[in-house]
């Protein structure tokens, strides 16, 4: 999704010193806590909505005609599975894009639903871990993301054989 950004004109009445705003490393646990625990009022619905939208965006990017597949959890099989037929993510994409809040490839694309690079973390609002299974063109990769004591997300990658391209948690 492309957002229309309007320039902001600031008129100063005098010459004041300018300062930049940011987030220090020491403040990150508090920001992560807000993003994880306070962003969504209906956490199960947020997980379903955000991950389904990402799956749809992956299909659109890959020009896949196959619809995404959603398997809702049951008492016998308590796993939510959302499968897309997109191009997948490379190990580099996971390390440098997927594991960071605010990183997105969708900012210059009006056919994409996503934009901010936050929705991919919606599963952390519901639980402490989720599993992302991926198939890329040349590699089969399993990446498990764990959130531990409000520290930065750690990623563990290992190559796997014959895994479906799906997201389960």
Q: What is the CATH number of the domain that holds 31?
A: 3.30.565.10
pTM exceeding the 0.75 threshold for the entire prediction: no
| Structural domain includes residue 13 | no
Apex CA 129: angle with CA 93 and CA 159, to 5°? Answer: 45
Give pLDDT, residue 158. 39
Classify residue 151: in a domain, yes or no: yes
pLDDT on residue 154:
37
In a domain, 5, yes or no: no
User: Do the domain assignments include residue 1?
Assistant: no
Residue 135, pLDDT score: 62
User: What ranges in 34-120 are assigned the alpha helix state H?
Assistant: 43-62, 91-93
CA triple 11-15-18, angle to 5 deg: 85
* 77 occurs within a structural domain: yes
Distance CA 91, CA 98 (A): 10
Q: Which helix (H) or strand (E) holds 123?
A: helix 123-126
Would you say residue 103 lies in a domain?
yes
SS3 42: coil
Per-residue pLDDT of the chain (169 residues; tens, 9 = 90+): 677 778 888 788 888 888 888 989 999 889 888 988 899 999 999 999 999 999 999 999 999 999 999 999 899 988 888 999 998 888 788 888 888 999 998 888 888 899 889 999 998 888 888 877 776 544 444 444 444 333 333 333 333 433 444 444 4
pLDDT for 3: 73
By DSSP bridging, strand 166-168 and strand 81-83 are antiparallel
- Number of domains, the chain: 1
**What is the per-residue pLDDT for 7?**
83
- Determine, yes or no, domain membership for 56: yes
State which residues form the domain around 98: 26-168
């Amino acid at each position: 999704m492309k957002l229309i950004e309007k320039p902001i004109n600031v008129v100063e009445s005098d010459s004041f010193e300018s300062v930049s705003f940011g987030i220090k490393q020491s403040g990150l646990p508090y920001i992560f806590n807000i993003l994880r625990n306070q962003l969504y009022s209906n956490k199960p619905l947020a997980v379903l909505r955000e991950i389904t939208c990402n799956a749809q965006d992956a299909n659109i990017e890959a020009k896949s005609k196959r619809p995404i597949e959603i398997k809702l959890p049951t008492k016998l099989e308590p796993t939510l599975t959302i499968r897309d037929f997109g191009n997948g993510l490379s190990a580099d994409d996971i390390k440098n894009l997927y594991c960071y809040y605010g990183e997105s490839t969708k900012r210059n694309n009006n056919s994409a639903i996503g934009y901010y690079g936050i929705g991919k973390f919606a599963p952390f609002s519901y639980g402490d871990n989720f599993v992302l299974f991926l198939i890329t063109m040349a590699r089969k990769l399993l990446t498990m993301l764990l959130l531990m004591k409000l520290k930065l997300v750690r990623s563990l990658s290992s190559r796997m054989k014959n895994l479906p391209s799906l997201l389960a948690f």
